[in-house]
Homo-oligomer: A and B are copies of this chain.
Amino acid sequence: MVGAGQLARMTHRAAIDLGVELRVLATDPDEAAVHAGADHLIGTPDEITDLRRLAEGAEVLTFDHEHVPSEIIEQLENEGVTVVPSARSKRLAQDKSYARERLGELGFPLPPFRLVHSSEEVADFGDEYGWPVVAKAPTGGYDGKGVWMVDDERAEPVPAERLAAGLLLEPKLELQRELAVVVARSTTGETRAFPVAETVQREAMCREILVPAPIPEALRQRAEELAISIVEATDSHGVVAVEMFVVDGDLLINELALRPHNSGHFTIEGTETSQFEQHLRAVLGWPLGSTELTAPAVVTVNVVGPSDGSDPRSRLAEAAGVPGAHLHIYGKEARPGRKLGHVTVRGPDLDSARDSALAAVMILEGNRSEEVEDV
């Protein structure tokens, strides 16, 4: 597995259960999966020699992030390395603009979008769809990084350096909800979706995952079908997270991640098989595990580094006292705004599970008061 962050760390945990030998590529011995004891090499994800070393003797090469350039993945494929997901499908997660075009060609519902390179094009788009406009860097963004609001291009133009590599523009949509569906597709072709999750963002970062998403059954089915169709139509393998917007009661596809995903962390306790074990099964060509919920409701809340720089680990014992709270700490150095862990709670309904998960997270984050919206 290329990458050694928390996704690799949780994949390592699943590999321990299965007796599967996982080796990760870390850029730094201080990364989360290395702290958890994953067998590792130190190297750079865009250095083909490091990737060759990583893949040596392995059955399959996979990823915990999007930072290996397509050309390098292709080169490894040409050299006979089994890479899952493939360079072609991985590009859907690496290049937002390519993903939009490809999903559009395949007939999937998308927000209006345009790839632009000049200030004039930004202004035209805003005039056509209304201000403000959402501008995204086509590559490299995550957790709100690489996304900007443009209030009025003529009054305050986008800096030229952001335009240089192109910008993906979207109208600012009235989002009723955001959903995420994690789907696994084995190299055998077997495909299974995990239950549809609602993701709640605050400060442009996913903070809560509510499962099952509190939406009408018909919409939930449509979300699941859409996600499965996308994975099949794009011939993707491994675990794929499909992010969607609910706008005017209907679904629009936002982004894909071709790897285990934050929105799927609830599966560790919340479904029979975790997304991490499922990813291993899928990339190894094993039968997939059951994705049934283990409780009526499951809520995951992310633990984010508090602004005072304190470490949530200093408050673990207290948080452990919240009934039903499953604490997951990634072993990363505490920094304000950094995702440092998550808490999952199973319950009879979303409200009670969410209350408990939030209670544990508030303790871990040092009881900082925080605006919590009703959902």
A residues with CB within 8 A of B: 9, 12-13, 16-20, 36-39, 272, 281, 284-287, 289-290, 294-295, 313, 316-317, 320-321, 323-324, 326-331, 341, 346
Contact A17 B326, CB 8 Å, known A37-B39, A294-B294: yes
Contact partners of A294 in chain B: CB under 8 A: 294-295, 346
Q: Are A341 and B19 in contact (CB under 8 A)?
A: yes
Q: Are B12 and A284 in contact (CB under 8 A)?
A: no
Copies of this chain, complex-wide, total 2
Q: Which of B9, B37, B272, B316 sits near A36, CB closer than 8 Å?
A: B37
Contact A324 B272, CB 8 Å, known A19-B313, A19-B331, A317-B285: yes
> Could you pull out 5 A-B pairs where Cβ atoms are within 8 angstroms?
A12-B16, A16-B331, A37-B39, A284-B317, A290-B323
Contact partners of A286 in chain B: CB under 8 A: 316-317, 320-321
Contact partners of A313 in chain B: CB under 8 A: 19
Contact partners of A321 in chain B: CB under 8 A: 286-287
CA–CA, A286 and B17, complex, Å:
25
Contact partners of A316 in chain B: CB under 8 A: 18-20, 286
Point out which of A38, A285, A289, A341 has the most chain B C-beta atoms below 10 A from its C-beta: A289
Contact partners of A328 in chain B: CB under 8 A: 17-19
Contact A17 B290, CB 8 Å, known A317-B285, A320-B281: no
